Amino acid sequence: MTMHADPVIQVKHLSFRYPGAERDTLRNVSLEITRGDFVAVVGGNGSAKTTLCKTFNGLVPHYWAGDFAGSVSVDGQDTFDSTVAELSSTVGYVFQDFQNQLVRPTVRDEVSFGPLNFGHEDYAERTDETLEHLGISHLRDSFVWQLSGGQAHLVALASVLAMRPSVIVVDEPVAELDPARAREIYLQLRELNERHGITVITIEHHAEFVAEFAHSVILMADGAPVWHLPVQEAMNRHRDLEEHGIPAPDAVALSALVLGADDDVALDVSTAVELLRPHVAREFTATERPLDPGTDRELVASLRGVEHGYRSIGGALRPVLHRLDLDLHAGEQVALVGTNGAGKSTLMKLLTGLIVPRQGTVEIGGIDTRTRSATELADKVSYLYQRPQQMFLRDSVREDVAMFPTGRRREGAQELVNQVLTRVGLDPLAERDGRTLSGGQQRRATIAIGLAMTPSLLLLDEPTSSLDVRSRDDVMAMLASLSSTVRCAVVATHDMELVASWATRVLVLDQGRVLLDTDPRSMFSRPEVTGQARLLPPQAARIAQELGITPTPLTAAELRTCLPTRDAALTKENR
């Protein structure tokens, strides 16, 4: 087969067991990665994707010493007889929590760190060249703590590329970045792959990126590859993927509905549009989520003429919000969207009373936040941080959930805590420290903390970020059930699927102003707005838009109603 013509990585009968573990993490793995390939490693949680990739640069078995059997060779070099340092010149690794990978104070120093350690005379040229390639030369003198998430990821990538590796491994770029930024990272990776011939290996949960960018796909399950196939064949087997917790991208799932069993599914939006066009109905009957009529639109919070800004390190006042007027009502599920720096977090903090505006007023339930402390306002508002670990202040999940109601001597605090823990499904884990839970469990624990505060206004910052697809669905279902207990919920998010499926109202913030205040469907139907605020509508919505369906279906489920059933489609095709 020509595909394995020039393997850069060869794994033969590899098994690996972490020290002290009960069973092997990698089980008899054999695979080859061709030079110049763009490989996506996919698989459910605990399928050993990361462990596999750490054998490529020798972290396994040299840093993680365990039982190692079989062989891995990289560029002809057996990794067992090599060192992490030597292998790192061939295989660069960008970690999932890439922020912790940055070890030097400035960007320039960070990128030149590797080449300097290895004593490369041309370290300065390598640094400049790499920054240039990734289009981040303007950041060279920035301090790493000033970088946004997307920029920090590019810097981590640059620091790896400066060693001129022939292979780079990128562990879950989408986990910590919003989709629009993650797409930029992928575009860079494609560039490196096509222009510079670098072999790219990504570990990825989001099949949408896999379909669009990868050339081949390795599906891992339980410590061994199920198959390694070219991307088209891999996506044709979307049922296999789904079985292993990787839901098919909308383009794949929708095109599969109108195709025969042996046809190639669509990998991207434009192909999906071509395939769907002959079958689709141009009209869509939206079933809008009605606002609960019983609440009579009671006012929960209101902002009048709010101006706020922060001092920068240089001392100048950097304005964040401009003359903002906003009312939040009972029964609303509000999504707050916009780029980083648009003012989302500032708005949330103003609503909690942690900060007060420089001008204008913020009222929560008729109380001016200037007249109460944040501690007192917490009776009405609760705020859930983006990073769950920052909310674990006590030794166990139960104590964290109980902290607010027992601290304030609420009546029936114990029952409330038990009830909330059951509701988020954390009863069996309630005595554990929150930090030891999985990402999805951590997020549910923070929601429990918020619910136990019985707020009338619940604020959530990026509740679905860095979750795998299944945990994300869990959290989304939980948010959907909030409306019965919380009067008004505001979610700041980059997750457009969440906006499409959960929100009843969307506020688009752009440079400190409300660019648009409407329902999700109207927002996604206005490309000029989504473009300006750099929002990437869900794939299904993009397909629907290109097909010219009105009003725009936002999710795959909605778009499906515009398509004939599978059999009908095939009959039509045959005629």
Partner 1 sequence: MARKTRDVLSVEWVRLELLRTAYATRGGLLARMDPRMVLLWYVLLAAAPWLTHNVTVLIGLFVLGAASVVASRVGPLVLGLFVFGLTTDIIALFAASFFFGGDWNTLAALAVLNLKIGVMSMASMAAFISLDPEKLSDALLALRAPELLAFGVSYGYRMLPILVDEYITVLEGMRLRSAAPASRGLLGWRTVLHWSVMSVTAFYPIMLNTAKNVRTTVEALETRGFTYAAHNPKGRTLRLAHLKVRGFDVAVVLTTLALVVLAFAIGVEYPLYRIG
* Long-range residue pairs from 281-284, CB within 8 A, at least 24 positions apart, any chain: 281/549, 281/562, 281/563, 282/547, 282/548, 282/549, 282/550, 282/562, 283/549, 283/550, 283/562, 284/544, 284/549, 284/550, 284/551, 284/552, 284/553, 284/558, 284/559, 284/561, 284/562
Q: Which of 325, 182, 283, 221 shows the shortest CA–CA distance to 553?
A: 283
**Nearest approach, Cβ of 9 to partner 1 (angstroms)?**
16
211 binding partner 1? (CB under 8 A): no
Q: Choose the binding region for partner 1 from 30-38, 118-126, 257-265, 491-499 (rule: CB under 8 A).
A: 118-126
Return the residue of 190, 358, 423, 534 that touches partner 1, per CB under 8 A.
358
Q: Would you put residue 339 in left (φ > 0), alpha (ψ -120 to 50) or beta?
A: beta
Q: Which of 325, 318, 362, 365 shows the shortest CA–CA distance to 146?
A: 318
Give the span between the Cα atoms of 148 and 520, in whole angstroms: 26
Q: Which of 155, 51, 44 shows the shortest CA–CA distance to 106?
A: 155
Contact string (CB under 8 A) for partner 1, positions 379-398, x = contact: ---xx-x---xxxxx-----
79 binding partner 1? (CB under 8 A): no
21 binding partner 1? (CB under 8 A): no
> What is the DSSP secondary-structure string of 94-154?
E-TTGGGG--SSBHHHHHHHHHHHTT-TTHHHHHHHHHHHTT-GGGTTSBGGG--HHHHHH
314 binding partner 1? (CB under 8 A): yes
Give yes or no for a cis peptide into 405 (omega within 30° of 0). Answer: no
464 binding partner 1? (CB under 8 A): no
**Nearest approach, Cβ of 223 to partner 1 (angstroms)?**
20
Between residue 432 and residue 451, which ones bind partner 1 under the rule CB under 8 A? Answer: 433, 435, 449
Q: Which residue, 221 or 452, is less far from partner 1 as judged by CB?
A: 452
**Nearest approach, Cβ of 234 to partner 1 (angstroms)?**
29
Q: Choose the binding region for partner 1 from 173-181, 377-385, 472-480, 520-528 (rule: CB under 8 A).
A: 377-385
Q: Would you put residue 340 in left (φ > 0), alpha (ψ -120 to 50) or beta?
A: beta
567 binding partner 1? (CB under 8 A): no
Q: Which residue, 58 or 440, is less far from partner 1 as judged by CB?
A: 58
Number of H helices and E strands in the chain, helices first, is 23, 20
Q: Which residue, 59 or 275, is less far from partner 1 as judged by CB?
A: 59
Return the residue of 274, 281, 297, 310 that touches partner 1, per CB under 8 A.
310
Q: Which residue, 122 or 263, is less far from partner 1 as judged by CB?
A: 122
195 binding partner 1? (CB under 8 A): no
Total residues found in the chain within this entry = 575
Q: Choose the binding region for partner 1 from 251-259, 306-314, 467-475, 478-486 (rule: CB under 8 A).
A: 306-314
Contact string (CB under 8 A) for partner 1, positions 95-114, x = contact: x-x--xxxxxxx--x---xx
Q: Would you put residue 556 in left (φ > 0), alpha (ψ -120 to 50) or beta?
A: alpha
Number of residues lying near partner 1 (CB under 8 A): 69
Interface residues toward partner 1, by CB under 8 A: 57, 59, 63, 83-85, 88, 92-93, 95, 97, 100-106, 109, 113-114, 116-121, 123, 143-145, 159, 163, 308, 310-311, 313-314, 352, 354-358, 369-371, 373-376, 378, 382-383, 385, 389-393, 403-404, 407-409, 433, 435, 449, 453
